[in-house]
Amino acid sequence: MFFSKLYAPTLKESPSDADLIGIKYLIRAGFVRKIAAGIYTYLPLGWKVIKKIENIVREEMDATGSQEIMLPIIQPAELWHESGRWEDYGPEMMKLKDRHDRDFTLGPTHEEMITAVVRNELNSYKQLPLSLYQIQNKYRDEIRPRFGLMRSREFIMKDAYTFHADEKSLDEYYDLFYSAYDRIMKRLGLKYLAVEADSGTIGGKGSHEFNALAEAGESTILYCDCGYAATDEKAEYKIETIKVNEELLPMEKVETPNVKTIEDVSKFLKVPRKKIVKSLLYKGKKGFILIMIRGDQDLNEAKLKSYYGDQTIQMANPNEIMEEFNVPVGFIGPVGISKKVEIIGDKSVEGMKNYVVGGMENNYHYKNVSPGKDFNIKLFTDLKMVKRGDLCPVCGKLLKEKKGIELGQVFKLGIKYSNSMNGVFTDEDGKSKPYYMGCYGWGISRTLEASVEQLHDENGIIWPLSIAPYQIMITVVNFSDVAQKEIGLKLYDMLKGNGYEVIIDDRKLSPGFKFKDADLIGFPLRITVGNKIKEGKVELKSRLSRDKKEITIEDTGLLMKTVEEMLKNYNPAEKIGE
RNA sequence: CGGGGAGUGGCGCAAUUGGCAGCGCACCGGUUUUGGGAACCGGGGGUUGCAGGUUCAAGUCCUGUCUCCCCGACCA
């Protein structure tokens, strides 16, 4: 490719609305353009990288025996009513109506669609297991799209779905996809962690995430040297129940004027945060739930939703609380609260006595409250947001924390969708059964940004070899110089002949401009054809180092060998990673 | 959805009290340059987000509306 013909408009300044280094570089280097919040256009360089990522993913999917298909983006609402997710997924969905006022959604995901497609003709155990996948656009109406391609409203995703006669077969495929994802990460050349994950709105049990490590990542990963790793939403910890041999003290109601937060209560009553119990009021499908958790801990909503199997659970809003309980937020507590509220406790409060809770009245708290005596907790379960420094659930050592960008996730769906949507097959015994399902997503467009987030320097992007739009840039310092031009073109043909993807900078620009562009776009290898040709030499430079190798042009064998070696030794994640 | 900020050539920005819409980059033509974003000369490109209003006169003031960005929307 001649640079003069490439449509890659580079910019000296970043657009003012770019919020992460990755999207800044992708825009400046001419890979993408933003069209609206969370909606992007891929220019030739960006699309070339996308296709390379797609191909790696496609090859690994094909290798598992999965078959590629293409489902529609526009999906009728009735399928979502069947699964119950028209409400559950609700606000996240881009919805539209046709001229007859019928409801549709732009697919945020395709579990409903795939089930609808296969349920008519996948009806015998002899057809199972079946594995299908597609690569296409997804649409999610994010509350606040941001971080470039990481949280966008339109994005490209690979999603695979598998169908099984029994759980054992599902487990086998789950492992198959798990190792395929491992290979994808390795081929992409990114540093990553595979972690246990919460299954969220998708539903089902059993899930792992594949996270590319990067500071800008939105996922928090708790991990341990012993090999345990999980997202913060999923992470467990070694629970040490405290046994206190205190005598039960009589409950006392104290005035705490304008003292609302745990911080305030702790200061005002001169009680450590550990001796205060937060009462968090939530509302789900079954009504109000009051969660008791120790004052110095945070609630993990994902665990709560998962415990109740209700994705609609939300914190009750202040107005609602006022209307229902006639008490302002901040003074909610378990003592004397309406019987229709279910009270459950986090493991952190199990065994605690004589603690402080909200007084169920403006400006009052209770002291020396104990369950069993003053109120009842239905049960204790783990609802805590695990943090750095908590104990590893496997080996008991301190957990560490890193930020990651979630690229892939594998789920065991079980029979959730086949059950609600009547996806059944006839088994050997002649009985009709819902099939077990698995689903496996990979964020293609997000991978583009994740790579840049992980691999860049002050001059621009650094591409892993496997997804670099071109591997080699030939910078002809002065293309008007006949000798330079000739050598540049000869080199270009030779490299292309050897199977490399090459760009030659034939633009009539100053050398500095060309070098800056080459670094910004991030070619793994740059060959400079300049005044050194007078000594019969060209210069080879890796994007990763400042060192240059001068090679005699005449010795084409050595030249090709050096190119090959430099590219072979080019491993940015090793040098820069994290 | 709440609070704050902002919309001016493709990009980044300026415009005093309401008084000729400007600068840098990019783009086009030309001359000289060519090893880390070259210099000079000349040139094109705008309904100042949109719709109304006030005024002799509106980028600037008023009303409405759309979009973008930041913070929050949860830890009582």
- Counting the structural domains of chain A, the total is 3
- What are A341's two structure tokens? 């509220």
Nucleotide nearest to A531 (CA to C1'): B35
Q: Are residues A121 and A263 in the same domain?
A: no
Q: Are residues A204 and A312 in the same domain?
A: no
Contact call for residues A450 and A190 (beta carbons, < 8 A) = yes
In a domain, A246, yes or no: no
Determine phi and psi for A33, rounding to 5 degrees: -135, 140
CA of A2 to C1' of B27 (A): 20
- Measure CA A366 to chain center: 42
- Averages of pLDDT over each 10 residues, chain A, 578 residues: 94 88 94 91 96 98 97 93 81 86 92 91 95 95 88 94 95 96 97 85 74 89 92 87 81 86 84 87 86 88 84 78 81 88 90 89 90 91 89 92 92 88 94 95 95 95 97 96 96 97 96 96 97 96 93 96 96 77
Q: Are residues A161 and A110 in the same domain?
A: yes
For residue A40, give every residue at least 6 positions away whose Cβ sits within 8 Å of its Cβ, in sequence order, or none.
A32, A33, A34, A148, A149, A152, A154, A445
Distance (Å, whole) CA A514 – CA A507: 8
pLDDT at residue A338 in the model: 85
pLDDT at residue A15 in the model: 87
Is the CB of residue A142 inside 7 Å of nucleic acid strand B?
A: no
Q: Are residues A38 and A98 in the same domain?
A: yes
Spell out a b/e string for A195-222, using b for 16 or more CB atoms within 10 Å of the CB, else e.
bbbbbbebbbebbbbbbbbbebbebbbb
pLDDT at residue A233 in the model: 84
For residue A186, give every residue at least 6 positions away whose Cβ sits within 8 Å of its Cβ, in sequence order, or none.
none
Is the CB of residue A545 inside 7 Å of nucleic acid strand B?
A: no
Contact call for residues A201 and A306 (beta carbons, < 8 A) = no
- What are A304's two structure tokens? 């709560």
Q: Are residues A267 and A309 in the same domain?
A: yes
Domain that holds residue A486: 463-575
Is the CB of residue A96 inside 7 Å of nucleic acid strand B?
A: no
ipTM, two decimals: 0.92
pLDDT at residue A200 in the model: 61
Measure the CA angle with vertex A384, ends A378 and A390; round to 5°.
135
Q: How many residues does chain A have?
A: 578
Find where tokens 């007078």 sit.
A534
Q: Are residues A444 and A467 in the same domain?
A: no
Distance (Å, whole) CA A324 – CA A334: 15
CA of A101 to C1' of B11 (A): 42
For residue A535, give the CATH number of its domain.
Answer: 3.40.50.800
Is the CB of residue A560 inside 7 Å of nucleic acid strand B?
A: no
In a domain, A430, yes or no: yes
pLDDT at residue A60 in the model: 98
Is the CB of residue A265 inside 7 Å of nucleic acid strand B?
A: yes
For residue A42, give the CATH number of its domain.
Answer: 3.30.930.10
